[in-house]
Amino acid sequence: MDQRLEWLPPVTQPPPAPMPEAVAPEDVGLPPAQPRTGLKRLAAPLAAIGAALAKLKVVLLLLPKVKLLTTAGSMVVSVAAYSLIFGWTFAAGFVLLLLVHEMGHVIQLRREGIQASAPMFIPFLGAVVAAKSLGEDAAAEARVGLAGPVLGSLGAALLIPVWLATGNEFWQALAFTGFFLNLFNLLPVVPLDGGRAMAAMAPWMWFVGLAAMGALAIAFPNPIILVILVLAAYSTWQRWKAHRAGGAEDEAYYRIRPAQRAAVAVVYLGLIAALVVGMDATHLVRTFANV
């Protein structure tokens, strides 16, 4: 207790006043509530809906820009990641080659009448394009799958004249990397582009591609190949199980005319041959670290 208060006389507390009866908040100094008309009842909900629609309109207007920023942002992150290995100039060129490859898929998807997203880049795993489907049948899936390596190979080939004109080995090494990237994607296993082509040619080749991926994982063990191998094994099993189950829808999907199958085979094998020649022409005995 505070000693400074001991001299004060005791204070007699008055008896507590009786508690007032509970009064409704609307009865304290407020006018009585007026009944709402039908329009007044709808005013608040309509105002809320109008505000929500206004916000939705803003979101819809900004959505394309957000997608563009997402693609650009993921590209910047990928360049930063690859620059830790290759240096930023080579990393930027490599990511642009990936962009050209993925745009091949986007263009063909839209030609098939399928809405496709802008590419999303994943460091050390490449890039992906989101779509509801890959086409109405296996021939369309093959066209979508091969469109990436076709455009990507053309993009890498355009670097050869630049290399020859400048004599700069940077462009030679970048072209070689582009050819290798597209050749790797032609391995006949899903979800790689070569596996898409096999859907129209010979689905059993998925297991050949899976064995090739396994051999690569043993010969060149690294986390990226192991991740791709796991994805390939899962995708192959799921696709083959669905294919073996059959059904009218599955039969219609894999019912490919001989001319379509031959066209896919010509493009697939021709791409492999062209890419091997391109890699041989641009081969440079030099490590990426020194580029």
Q: What is the pLDDT of residue 251?
A: 86
Taking 60 as the threshold, does the pLDDT of residue 58 lie above it? no
CA 180 – CA 161 distance, rounded (Å): 18
In degrees, rounded to 5, the angle at the alpha carbon of residue 104 between the alpha carbons of residues 101 and 105 is 100
pLDDT: is 84 or 41 the higher one?
84
Predicted pLDDT at 23? 45
| 204/125 Cα distance (integer angstroms) | 25
Residue 218 has pLDDT above 60, yes or no: yes
d(CA 96, CA 155): 9
Q: Which residues are paired to 128 by β-bridges?
A: 120
DSSP the chain: --GGGTTSPP-PPPPPPPPPPP--GGGSS-PPPPPPPHHHHHHHHHHHHHHHHHHHHHHHHHHHHHHHHHHHHHHHHHHHHHHHHH-HHHHHHHHHHHHHHHHHHHHHHHHTT--BPPPEEETTTEEE--BS-S-SSHHHHHHHHHHHHHHHHHHHHTHHHHHHHH--HHHHHHHHHHHHHHHHTTSSSTTSHHHHHHHHH-TTHHHHHHHHHHHHHHHS--HHHHHHHHHHHHHHHHHHHHHHH--HHHHHHT---HHHHHHHHHHHHHHHHHHHHHHHHH-----GGG-
The mean-pLDDT minimum among 72-76, 90-94, 141-145, 285-289 falls in 285-289
Q: What percent of the chain has a predicted confidence (pLDDT) above 90?
A: 46
pLDDT band for position 225 (50/70/90)? confident
Q: What global pTM score does this model have?
A: 0.72
Determine the average pLDDT of the residues in 216-239: 88
pLDDT tens track for 136-151 = 899 999 999 999 999 9
Q: Which of 2-6, 31-35, 66-70, 73-77 has the lowest mean pLDDT?
A: 2-6
Residues in the chain: 291
Does the structure show a pLDDT above 90 at 161?
yes
85-138 pLDDT tens trace: 889 999 999 999 999 999 999 999 999 999 888 889 888 888 888 888 888 899
The pLDDT score that the predictor gives to residue 44 is 53
Going by their DSSP bridges, the two strands 120-122 and 126-128 should be labelled as: antiparallel
Block residue for tokens 């062209």: 274
Of 253, 244, 178, 159, the residue nearest 206 (C-alpha): 244
Residue 17: per-residue pLDDT = 52
Band the pLDDT of 18: cuts 50, 70, 90.
low
Most confident stretch, 186-195, 220-229, 243-252: 186-195
Q: In this predicted structure, what is the pLDDT of residue 68?
A: 53
pLDDT band (50, 70, 90) for residue 288: very low
Which amino acid is located at 196 in the chain? R
Spatial CB neighbours of 133, under 8 Å, sequence gap ≥ 6? 114
For the ranges 76-80, 125-129, 249-253, 267-271, the one whose mean pLDDT is highest:
267-271
CA distances from 84 to 219, 263, 268 (A): 24, 41, 34
The answer to whether the CB of 209 falls within 8 A of the CB of 196 is: no
pLDDT band of 221, cuts 50, 70, 90: confident
Whether residue 280 has pLDDT greater than 90 = yes
For residues 139 and 61, the model is more confident at 139
Of the pLDDT bands very low, low, confident and very high (cuts 50, 70, 90), residue 8 is very low
